[in-house]
Amino acid sequence: MSQQIDHLLTEDRRFAPPADFVQNAVAKPGIYDEAADDRLSFWAARSRELLHWHTPFTNVLDWSNPPFAKWFDDGKLNVAYNCLDRHVEAGNGDRVAIHFEGEPGDSRSVTYAELTAEVKRVANVLAGLGVGQGDRVAIYLPMIPEAIASLLAVARLGAVHSVVFGGFSADSLRARIDDAGAKVVITADGGYRKGKASALKPAVDQALSDRGDGEQATVEKVLVVRRTEQEVEWTDGRDVWWHDVVPAASAEHEAEAFDAENPLFILYTSGTTGKPKGILHTSGGYLTQAAFTHRNVFDLHPETDVYWCTADIGWITGHSYVTYGPLANGATQVLYEGTPEFPEPGRWWDIIEKYGVSIFYTAPTAVRSFMKQGREIPQKRDLSSLRLLGSVGEPINPEAWMWFREVIGSGLTPIVDTWWQTETGAIMISALPGVTETKPGSAQVALPGVEIDVVDEKGEAVGNDAGGLLVVTDPWPSMLRGIWGDPDRFVETYWKMFADKGFYFAGDGARLDEDGDIWLLGRVDDVMNVSGHRLSTAEIESALVAHDATAEAAVVGASDETTGQAVVAFVILKESFLKDNSAEGLANTLRQWVGEQIGPIARPRDVYIVGELPKTRSGKIMRRLLRDVAEGREVGDTQTLADTAVMSVIARQVK
């Protein structure tokens, strides 16, 4: 089957960055030419400029055994030293590293000097528990400062962390602990979510319990943070209270230099079934690209900016743009524990107003949920401190992009729509604010030093004004170094399709517009074949959201005897429209609307009006579950959903 993807929507709005933004921007237009002239020299210069190397590197890239790359492999550095000590030594110890806001309303601000001392203490505690270079530490914590301190303490020792999202079940946690062979688990009694204390320690206890065949977990110690004052079961000799040992530990700890290719973390991709897929990242190349992209994509001025990325620490965004990128750059950032609607809608805007957030990075699904609530809520807050907005997680619909710019950004603020993955480690495609004229809904261009193309199934470039498969054509510093313990699966999953060309296949569809800018079309698995036309779910969703009544939409292809596949849409309506219109009438209106906006071929066979969509806690819509409902099957595994009950509600509404 041809991999050419039809594209039917057009977008002709353009927004140049404000003149004062251009004048003070971190990234300058010449950065693209520098990277194009000599890509490897470009990355070497960025790494030397942004990081402290205990032993300077002379090798930039070793690609002698593709797809197993080595970057800066004869250099040595310490990741935690780069994120902490050097800022203190440079006289910035009094700068706030983290403004923490707990969901119940508690708050504290932690300076770089304080965070450095805490990380040294935690490192000493972990070393006392037997953790050394190469050991794996599982981290199962809420969004609290101790989570960031834990990641950095593990990195400081040259050990490997595996963060497991706090919403995952005991079975999911167990699978990840076992696959990584974790020696220590760091957890908490619980965290706060939607106004309630949510337990974490019991899931750890269950994950570590006897398996029934006598096999015991590799875990020797469990370090427990007290956050919610819930009672927990205690295993003497194994469990250790954080508050008993960390404050008492020495705040003196020398950061040892490790090889640039020393493993830094394993992160398991969400939504996997069967054996977990542990994505492995190493140190020097990963930190180089995380720091470079954070500084340039977000136009970071660390002396004056207050940055906030809303991602959870359990996802790659929480690694690269809550922990390593911001702290490597000496940024001041906000860390929020809870949900955006507790105790009422508008909590996020209250936090932006309270801390004077200037850079705000969040998911399109969050933006669309705010659209559903109405612009009156953010307009009651002072958001004038914002000067840059960012989007991550999935393609953002043009109308959601426009709402974000106009309502949250006062019609002036540049938006960076970023494309990247757990596997890529850092942002790969994005506008550069101050350089790029932005287009609503377009991820735009590959970043300097990153080589991206859109190709057909033979690996041939499709050219401008055409769609196909998104590939990375050359190695990049923050690329995954493998799948933990399974090199064959690494090659099979990411490199086999274009093995003759050496391309990394991202699994996403994309198109190039007439200017050569990139538009993401969603996962290739989500592309529908309707009467021989390969249609992108993203474009039909964009058309639906462009209607005034729609807050959010998810589209899937369902089997159809006549057309092969039919378009089925699940739509959340804005609350203001539900008062005066029937759901059935609006569904028919939306069917006709899509036909007018795109063409009869894309008109949904069915439009279901629903109250919620099935989303992971990171905000991604799980379309495979909607496909199950649309085709009348039993709904599949829902354990990665933020709310597992939502599929039962949707199934009832569809019936």
pLDDT in tens, 317-372: 999 999 999 999 999 999 999 989 899 999 999 999 999 999 999 998 889 889 88
Collapsing DSSP to helix, strand or coil, 87 comes out as: helix
Residue 457 and residue 189: Cα distance in Å, rounded?
50
Which residues lie below 8 Å from residue 272, measured CB to CB, with a gap of 6+? none
Q: Where would I find the H helices in 51-111? A: 79-83, 85-87
Percentage, residues of the chain above pLDDT 90 = 72
Cα angle 236-148-484, degrees, rounded to a multiple of 5: 80
Q: Which residues are bridge partners to 444 per DSSP? A: 518
The stretches in the chain having pLDDT less than 50 are: 1-3, 5, 7-8, 271-273
Do the Cβ atoms of 309 and 336 come closer than 8 Å? no
Which pLDDT score, from 0 to 100, does residue 88 have?
98
Phi and psi at residue 96, to the nearest 5°: -70, 125
Could you give the 3-state DSSP secondary structure of residue 404? helix
From CA 290, how far away is CA 112, in angstroms rounded?
A: 19
Distance CA(284)–CA(105), nearest Å, equals 37
Q: What is the rounded distance in angstroms from the CA atom of residue 319 to the CA atom of residue 304?
A: 23
Buried-exposed string 443-456: b where 16+ CB fall within 10 A, e elsewhere:
bbbbbbbbbbbbbe
Out of 3.40.50.970, 3.40.640.10, 3.10.129.10, 3.30.300.30, which CATH number does the structure's domain 527-654 have? 3.30.300.30
> How much is the pLDDT for 270?
52
Residue 3: its pLDDT value, please?
A: 47
pTM, two decimal places: 0.86
Which residue bears the tokens 């000496």? 330
Q: Where are the domains of the chain?
A: 527-654
Length of the chain: 655
Peptide bond into 56 cis (omega under 30): no
Report which secondary-structure segment, H or E, holds 453.
strand 452-455
Q: Identify whether the C-beta of residue 116 lies closer than 8 Å to the C-beta of residue 88.
A: yes
At position 568, the amino acid (one-letter code) is: V
217-235 core/surface letters (b: 16 or more CB in 10 A; e: else): bebebbbbbebbeeebeee
The per-residue pLDDT for 618 is: 66
Is there a contact between 100 and 333 (Cβ–Cβ < 8 Å)?
A: no
Q: What angle do CA 44, 48, 54 make, to 5 degrees?
A: 120
Per-residue b/e over 133-160, b at no fewer than 16 CB within 10 Å? eebbbbbbbbbbbbbbbbbbbbbbbbbb
| Contact present, 417 and 538 (Cβ < 8 Å) | no
The C-alpha atoms of residue 522 and residue 542 are separated, in whole angstroms, by 12
Preceding peptide of 343 cis, ω within 30° = yes
